[in-house]
């Protein structure tokens, strides 16, 4: 995209030989400006690339020299000039300006001055923070990782399904949800019994924001075999932590004629693909994270990309953890969910690489997971990675209608609400499996950023829905 015939700074860095000693036009925002009496330097970023371009300007060549030297940081400019190599300088080349047109002035109180700001402060100016190095890097990685996910699945023939955001059903039979409504709160319609009359709401019934597209995704899996969803999901949980947001994006593939083993292979391939894609397509940003955000990042990511992931059953994992039980705050007991400390110990201390924990007790997992022959565990898997713990959760789905109904009864679900889900087992059901990847957690993992609020453009958390 050559907006208004500007050359992108990315092109200069990637194909310098095409531009050196040629007259070009660039446009972008002033990051720094320093000048002496008769000449000056401007670092310009044009948004196309992590690095800036250095502009040199001289009083003799620029009619508006004085005006240019007075520009506040953040101003936008359009610069014509010749690109010249600078073999002895830090940067490989600079632009000798023949004209500098001021497109839009900033002000002296522009909040992003050269000094460092805390991430907390930058959240209050979330509309400006992508202009900083850190957030420019975060959100370019987020964009690339999103594309990597599409590329991974599309190149493998998966069909992308947009499952509904507004739902009349509660996909996991659990999870706090946001109500979606157009009812007038000052004049709520009531039934004869005095209850709120949702039949008068927009959809003629009570509706909520989805917590997962999985169940709807399964319907498309039974038609297209290999499908994935990638969209926003919601949890109305009152968890004010660095890892929870009320609105987040989730990737949920679903594969037919497939078992838990296929599911784990897919998850491993996908995660490696995303990381490789980011490393290859944003080396400058990744180097920045490794230098300034998390010094262990490259080591950690290389360990993922180059490892064959380990596998351990939940039952074996519990035995392993019990041997070191004095190391933990929470007890380790078969039947209880693993805590983050247990998960991290498994992946960081015992296996020292990503590990799939499989075959969890049925009572701590969802109704749709396939019962194992032991009748105690289900064909579930969680992928644990060093530094974080769980990053992916999945399972083989129960394809046997009688087993499924039994579990729904045991868990007190209303089977009438799931007629269409049960239909999938009546009409040519197959073995199938899938998993969910919380996209923000993946971005945190890939960038080393430690707060989910810093990998979402405008975060939605308890008491926060700004911008």
Q: What is d(CA 3, CA 9) in angstroms, rounded to the nearest whole number?
A: 12
Q: Are 314 and 363 in contact (CB under 8 A)?
A: no
**Residue 427, Cβ density class (10 Å: 0-12 exposed, 13-18 middle, ≥19 buried):** exposed
Confirm if 122 and 132 have CB atoms less than 8 A apart.
yes
- Residue 182 phi, psi (nearest 5): -115, 10
| Residue with the two structure tokens 């889900």 | 421
Tokens 């499924």 appear where?
A: 404
Using CA atoms, how far apart are residues 366 and 370, in angstroms rounded to an integer? 9
Residue 138 backbone class (left: φ over 0; alpha: ψ -120 to 50; beta: rest): alpha
What's the token pair of residue 271? 């995660």
384 closest CA partner among 345, 356, 420, 417: 356
C-alpha distances out from residue 343 to 292, 321, 378, Å: 27, 9, 19
Nearest Cα residue to 175 out of 212, 139, 148, 123 = 212
Distance CA 363, CA 255 (A): 24
Distance between CA atoms of residues 82 and 97, nearest Å? 7
The continuous run of DSSP H or E covering 43 comes out as: strand 39-45
**Shortest distance, CB of residue 144 to its own copies, whole angstroms?**
8
Structure tokens at 332: 């380790």
Contact 336, 342 (CB under 8 A): no
Between CA 72 and CA 40 the distance in angstroms is 14
Collapsed DSSP state (helix, strand, coil) of residue 327: helix
**Partner residues linked to 56 by β-bridges:** 41, 96
């Amino acid at each position: 995209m050559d907006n208004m015939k500007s050359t992108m700074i990315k092109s200069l860095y990637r194909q310098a030989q095409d531009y050196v000693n040629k007259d070009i036009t660039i446009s972008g925002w002033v990051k720094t400006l320093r000048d002496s009496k008769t000449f000056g330097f401007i670092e310009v970023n044009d948004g196309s690339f992590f690095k800036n371009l250095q502009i040199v300007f001289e009083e003799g060549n620029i009619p508006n020299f004085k005006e240019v030297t007075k520009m506040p940081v953040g101003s936008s400019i359009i610069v014509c000039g010749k690109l010249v190599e600078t073999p002895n300088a830090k940067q490989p080349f600079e632009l000798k300006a023949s004209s500098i047109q001021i497109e839009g002035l900033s002000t002296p109180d522009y909040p992003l001055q050269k000094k460092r700001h805390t991430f907390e402060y930058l959240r209050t100016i979330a509309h400006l923070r992508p202009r900083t190095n850190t957030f420019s890097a975060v959100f370019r990685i987020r964009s690339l990782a999103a594309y990597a996910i599409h590329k991974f699945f599309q190149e493998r023939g998966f069909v992308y399904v947009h499952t509904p955001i507004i739902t009349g059903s509660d996909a996991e039979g659990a999870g706090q949800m946001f109500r979606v409504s157009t009812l007038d709160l000052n004049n709520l319609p009531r039934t004869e019994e005095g209850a709120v009359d949702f039949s008068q709401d927009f959809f003629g019934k009570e509706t909520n924001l989805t917590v997962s597209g999985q169940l709807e995704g399964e319907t498309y899996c039974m038609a297209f075999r290999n499908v994935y969803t990638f969209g926003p999901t919601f949890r109305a949980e009152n968890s004010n932590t660095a890892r929870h947001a009320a609105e987040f994006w989730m990737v949920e593939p679903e594969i037919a004629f497939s078992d838990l083993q296929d599911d784990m292979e897919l998850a491993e391939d996908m995660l490696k693909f995303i990381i490789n894609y980011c490393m290859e397509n944003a080396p400058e940003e990744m180097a920045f994270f490794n230098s300034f955000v998390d010094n262990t990042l490259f080591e950690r990511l290389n360990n993922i990309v180059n490892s064959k992931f380990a596998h351990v059953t939940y039952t074996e994992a519990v035995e392993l953890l019990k041997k070191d039980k004095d190391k933990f705050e929470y007890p380790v007991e078969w039947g209880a969910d693993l805590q983050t400390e247990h998960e991290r110990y498994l992946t960081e201390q015992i296996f020292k690489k990503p590990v799939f924990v499989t075959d969890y007790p049925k009572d701590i997992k969802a109704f749709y997971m396939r019962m194992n022959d032991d009748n105690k565990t289900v064909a579930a898997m969680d992928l644990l990675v060093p530094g974080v713990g769980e990053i992916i959760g999945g399972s083989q789905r129960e394809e046997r209608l009688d087993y499924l109904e039994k579990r729904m009864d045991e868990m007190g679900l209303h089977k009438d609400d799931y007629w269409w889900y049960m239909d999938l087992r009546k009409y040519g059901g197959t073995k199938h499996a899938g998993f969910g990847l919380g996209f923000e957690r993946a971005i945190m993992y890939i960038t080393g950023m430690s707060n989910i609020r810093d990998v979402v453009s405008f975060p939605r958390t308890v008491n926060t829905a700004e911008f």
